[in-house]
Amino acid sequence: MEGGGRPSAAQAVLLATSTAITALLYSIYRQKARVARGLEGARKVRLDGDLRAVLLEAPGRCVPYAVIEGVVRSVKDTLSSQFVENCKGVVQRLTLQEHKMVWNRTTHLWNDYEKIIHQRTSTTPFDLVPAEDGAGVTVRVMKPLEAAELGLETVYEKFHPSVQSFTDVIGHYISGERPKGIQETEQMLKVGTALTGVGELVLDNATIKLQPPKQGMPYYLSSLDFQSLLQKQESSVRFWKILTVVFGFATCAVLFFLLRKQYRHHRERQHLRQMQEKFRQAQERLGSTEGGEVLKNACVVCLNSTKSCVFLECGHVCSCHECYQALPDPKKCPICRQGITRVVPLYNS
């Protein structure tokens, strides 16, 4: 604590940082909890012949947040894998990712670094159809790339290591960057994949569409079933809740420490003022009595004996030896409340 009981700059920064982190974590937790509650309350509809009747009865022919499960089927053409034969899909993502080691001048360690240098995503219109053949109802999936969780499967992955000469190695050590290679990845949403869609379900003329919801809730196209997707979101909520509680306790501990320090400083200053006031009153009483010139050297504790010792390191002469011995441990000067390291006898000639 600084003078006057105020917290130091480091303590103030620590408290402000802890408070800000706690507020940020609480905000993320609230958002995750809202998403989990919305997902839990989403209306579950079956992809069968009654779906059209359900939408006709709904206000505006729309279910604002619905859960529907089906199998992916292409509307027209399909996308073929560039590396795997007879692999057809409706969403294809090709990624080139650079891997290298970067020298950290602070920790003096080589750290892994990854960077996407090229990514291309292609889509073709597709529907969700029932897993059982025979039902004629389909749901057209709109804007699949806006989904928060798009269930793409990695169908091809290959790492191309960098070929380096001795001169390249010397140059990499000088520059602080060591290339490791390029990783090539192909991901696809394959035809026939079981998919769980969560979003706005609307009947547009004769077409049933699944599209991103309008009330700010996330849009899902996941390869997980609905219960697994819900459990995943609830696990995320618990994780952020635990982080929020931990940092909240840390913030409360820092605040309690600062308030306790300030309270102790206030009590010490109050006690010192009381001692000074008692000393002043005793001096006034002694000065008003007969023989006041002799009693000016009286002990401030008992007011009877003569001051006979010097307190170090503060240097105050205010007590007789008997009253010094009666002071509670750890012994402090009655005037300034500073700790007494040693006592020197005072002899009056």
Q: What percent of the chain has pLDDT over 90?
A: 43
Confidence class for position 134, pLDDT limits 50, 70, 90: low
pLDDT beyond 50 at 292: no
- CA–CA gap between residue 274 and residue 290 (Å, rounded): 26
Question: Looking at residue 333, what is its pLDDT?
Answer: 87
Most confident of 158-162, 312-316, 324-328: 158-162
Tens digits of per-residue pLDDT, 165-213? Answer: 878 778 877 888 888 899 999 999 999 999 999 999 999 888 899 999 9
- Residues 6+ positions from 144 with CB-CB distance below 8 Å: 90, 91, 123, 126, 150, 189, 221
What 3-state DSSP class applies to 229? helix
pLDDT beyond 80 at 145: yes
Name the residue type at position 30. R
Does residue 179 have a cis peptide bond before it, meaning omega lies within 30 degrees of 0? no
Mean pLDDT for the stretch of residues 52-73: 90
Question: Looking at residue 204, what is its pLDDT?
Answer: 86
pLDDT beyond 60 at 121: yes
Mean pLDDT for the stretch of residues 134-159: 87
Question: Looking at residue 240, what is its pLDDT?
Answer: 95
Question: Looking at residue 276, what is its pLDDT?
Answer: 79
Dihedral of the alpha carbons of 115, 118, 122, 128, in degrees to the nearest 10: -10
Token pair for 89: 């899909």
Question: Looking at residue 188, what is its pLDDT?
Answer: 94
Tens digits of per-residue pLDDT, 246-285? Answer: 999 999 999 998 888 888 888 888 888 887 787 777 667 6
125-145: b or e for each residue (b if 16 or more CB lie within 10 Å)?
ebbbbbeeeeeebbbebbebe
Question: Looking at residue 291, what is its pLDDT?
Answer: 46
Question: Looking at residue 285, what is its pLDDT?
Answer: 67
Question: Looking at residue 5, what is its pLDDT?
Answer: 59
pLDDT beyond 80 at 342: yes
Q: Which of 33, 86, 10, 5 is nearest to 233 (CA)?
A: 33
- Residues 6+ positions from 211 with CB-CB distance below 8 Å: 142, 143, 199, 200, 202, 219
What is the model's pTM? 0.67
Dihedral of the alpha carbons of 238, 240, 244, 245, in degrees to the nearest 10: 20
Confidence class for position 294, pLDDT limits 50, 70, 90: very low
Of the two residues 133 and 131, the one the predictor is more confident about is: 131
Q: Which of 102, 290, 89 is nearest to 193 (CA)?
A: 89
Confidence class for position 120, pLDDT limits 50, 70, 90: very high
Mean pLDDT, the chain, integer: 86
Q: Which of 13-22, 88-97, 195-204, 300-309 has the lowest mean pLDDT?
A: 300-309
Q: Which of 171, 182, 180, 183 is nearest to 110 (CA)?
A: 180
Helix (H) or strand (E) holding 267: helix 226-288
Give ∠ CA 307-313-318 in degrees, rounded to 5.
15
Mean pLDDT for the stretch of residues 79-86: 91
Confidence class for position 287, pLDDT limits 50, 70, 90: low
Tens digits of per-residue pLDDT, 155-171? Answer: 999 999 988 787 877 88
Q: Which CATH number fits domain 296-345: 3.30.40.10, 3.50.50.60, 3.90.550.10, 3.40.50.620?
A: 3.30.40.10
Name the residue type at position 90. V
pLDDT beyond 80 at 144: yes
Mean pLDDT for the stretch of residues 14-36: 93
